[in-house]
């Protein structure tokens, strides 16, 4: 089976992290975002993954070669030279997707959840139609595209983009499974799948909704990245609690890479991810944070709701909070207060940032 992952372009919403590393390779809970999806696809029987990219990255190419070897599958890159919208990339990959009659998966690369690929395949084959969309229930549907469908059959009636009044609380979760026949609907030009393709398919009775169970998050921006991290760690607690770290000084769900070093009298958690080679000195308190590879947090500092970029260094007695994001190799001097700062790579911070702002 095949899958197409819509990776897209520069990942600007996840800057400053994506200034150093292409978004699919940013580690989410100690594993590149893309790998969460690819490994789940492989488990469901996918042997060929196509990455639809609009920005070609050598780093991504090299990493994908390595994963091909490791997972024993084929990974192709489909590079759109001009913007093709959300449907166009499918047309671009038409040859790769239609070499047999099997249905193929399409995923939005920012989505994290308990991937239901087996259920999707079964549901899709049962319906025998051209397309199945996974939907998920959210608290604030008007931020997204809402799906209106028949509860018992799953047959989709219509879509409403960012509705002003309450229409439904089920939104498009960014995961689809299609039969190859649907590709005849898409031409190789900039096309919106939500606005141009889906409405027609729905009208013809060829589009069905499958409701997702469990957590879901679009982790394309830092605030949601951290929220998604909390959800994912909770899911790990339920399914594989041995992966989490516990004991004195650890509260709630904490994921620690075995090569990380944690000092004395630290209190870590709840909801913390510590990457490879990270050093936490004595007396550090970290809550609801992702600390990426090689970062160094010096003693007595206090961090809440932050993303600390690769190889960054946070000084002693620093207080960082409110979705502060440090890019790669950022240095924060001792005793500063950093509130909601978005700090670009290789920057040194010598003054407190008491109100949220971007530091270039």
Query: Known catalytic residues?
Result: 162
* Of the candidate residues 9, 45, 241, 354, the single one contacting other proteins (CB under 8 A): 354
By the rule CB under 8 A, 302 interacts with other proteins: yes
| Residue pair 146/163 in contact by the 8 Å Cβ criterion | yes
Which range binds other proteins by CB under 8 A, 83-91, 101-109, 156-164, 317-325? Answer: 317-325
Q: Under 8 Å CB-to-CB from 122, ≥6 apart: which residues? A: none
Show contacts with other proteins in window 145-164 (CB under 8 A).
none
| Residue pair 172/210 in contact by the 8 Å Cβ criterion | no
* Of the candidate residues 282, 348, 356, 358, the single one contacting other proteins (CB under 8 A): 282
* Of the candidate residues 221, 283, 331, 333, the single one contacting other proteins (CB under 8 A): 283
- Within 10 Å of residue 146's Cβ, how many Cβ atoms? 22
Q: How far is the CB of 230 from other proteins (least distance, A)?
A: 18
Which pair of tokens denotes residue 104? 């193929």
By C-beta, is 39 or 304 nearer to other proteins? 304
State the binding string over 241-270 for other proteins (x if CB under 8 A, else -). ------------------------x-----
* Of the candidate residues 317, 329, 331, 346, the single one contacting other proteins (CB under 8 A): 317
By C-beta, is 215 or 302 nearer to other proteins? 302
3-state SS assignment for residue 127:
helix
Axis-axis angle for helices 33-43, 117-127 (nearest 10): 50
Q: Under 8 Å CB-to-CB from 258, ≥6 apart: which residues? A: none
| Residue pair 219/307 in contact by the 8 Å Cβ criterion | no
Which range binds other proteins by CB under 8 A, 51-59, 156-164, 224-232, 279-287? Answer: 279-287
- Within 10 Å of residue 125's Cβ, how many Cβ atoms? 12
By the rule CB under 8 A, 316 interacts with other proteins: yes
Strands 319-321 and 216-218, bridge-based pairing: unpaired
Which range binds other proteins by CB under 8 A, 68-76, 128-136, 223-231, 294-302? Answer: 294-302
Axis-axis angle for helices 33-43, 58-71 (nearest 10): 30
CA separation for the pair 286, 309 (Å, rounded): 15
DSSP letter assigned to residue 100: S
By C-beta, is 215 or 317 nearer to other proteins? 317
Q: How far is the CB of 323 from other proteins (least distance, A)?
A: 16
By the rule CB under 8 A, 351 interacts with other proteins: no
- Contact set with other proteins (CB under 8 A): 265, 282-283, 285, 299-300, 302, 304, 316-317, 319, 321, 335, 337, 354
């Amino acid at each position: 089976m095949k899958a197409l992952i819509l990776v897209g372009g520069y990942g600007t919403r996840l800057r400053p992290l994506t200034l150093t590393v292409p978004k699919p390779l940013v580690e989410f809970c100690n594993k590149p975002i893309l790998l969460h999806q690819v490994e789940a696809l492989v488990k469901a029987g996918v042997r060929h993954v196509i990455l639809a990219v609009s920005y070609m990255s050598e780093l991504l190419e090299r990493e994908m070669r390595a994963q091909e070897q490791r997972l024993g599958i084929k990974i192709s890159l489909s590079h759109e030279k001009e913007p093709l919208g959300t449907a166009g990339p499918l047309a671009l990959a038409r040859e790769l997707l239609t070499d047999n009659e099997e249905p193929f998966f399409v995923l939005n690369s920012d989505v994290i959840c308990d991937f239901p690929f087996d259920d999707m395949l079964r549901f899709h084959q049962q319906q025998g139609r051209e397309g199945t969309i996974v939907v998920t229930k959210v608290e604030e549907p008007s931020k997204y595209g809402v799906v209106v469908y028949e509860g018992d059959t799953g047959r989709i009636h219509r879509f409403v983009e960012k509705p002003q009044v309450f229409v439904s609380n089920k939104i498009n979760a960014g995961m689809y499974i299609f039969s190859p026949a649907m590709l005849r609907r898409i031409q190789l030009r900039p096309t919106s799948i939500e606005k141009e393709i889906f409405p027609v398919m729905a009208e013809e009775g060829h589009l069905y909704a499958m409701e997702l169970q469990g957590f879901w998050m679009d982790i394309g921006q830092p605030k949601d990245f951290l929220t998604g991290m909390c959800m994912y760690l909770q899911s790990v607690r339920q399914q594989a609690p041995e992966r989490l770290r516990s004991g004195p000084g650890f509260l709630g769900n904490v994921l620690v890479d075995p090569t990380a070093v944690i000092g004395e009298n630290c209190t870590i958690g709840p909801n913390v991810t510590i990457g490879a080679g990270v050093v936490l000195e004595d007396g550090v308190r970290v809550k609801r944070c992702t600390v990426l590879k090689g970062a160094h947090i010096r003693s007595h500092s206090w961090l809440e709701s932050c993303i600390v970029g690769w190889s960054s260094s946070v000084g002693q007695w620093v207080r960082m909070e409110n979705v502060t994001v440090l890019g790669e190799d950022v240095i924060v001097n001792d005793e500063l207060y950093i509130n909601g700062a978005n700090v670009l790579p290789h920057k040194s911070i010598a003054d407190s940032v008491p109100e949220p702002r971007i530091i270039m």
